[in-house]
Amino acid sequence: MSNKATNGYFVNISLGRNITPSLAVQLEAEVDNQYLYNNKHALEGFIMPQAEYHISSGWMFGIGEQASLQEYSSKTEYSTWVMVEKEF
């Protein structure tokens, strides 16, 4: 195992709201200090709006569109996430 596979600090927060008993929306954001290579670290962050469908009590199926930016990159990267989540 390499110590180069670890990240530095990170902050992750999400806020959500039920729209109906079966549908919810959520906004998630994160900032972290990611290890790249050659002992370099870079700030990285993303924001992801999500739509959630309650499958059953406490379980949700979600889809989100993530926009991320890394300190050494001058372009925003976009990706679509499909998730199964558990409420706590």
Q: For 9-55, write each residue's pLDDT tens digit.
A: 889 999 999 999 999 999 999 998 877 667 777 888 999 999 999 99
pTM here is: 0.77
Q: What is the 3-state secondary structure (H, E, C) of the chain?
A: CCHHHCCCCEEEEEEEEECCCCEEEEEEEEEEEEECCCCCEEEEEEEEEEEEEEEECCEEEEEEEEEEEECCCCCCEEEEEEEEEECC
The whole domain housing 26 covers 3-86
The tally of domains found in the chain comes to: 1
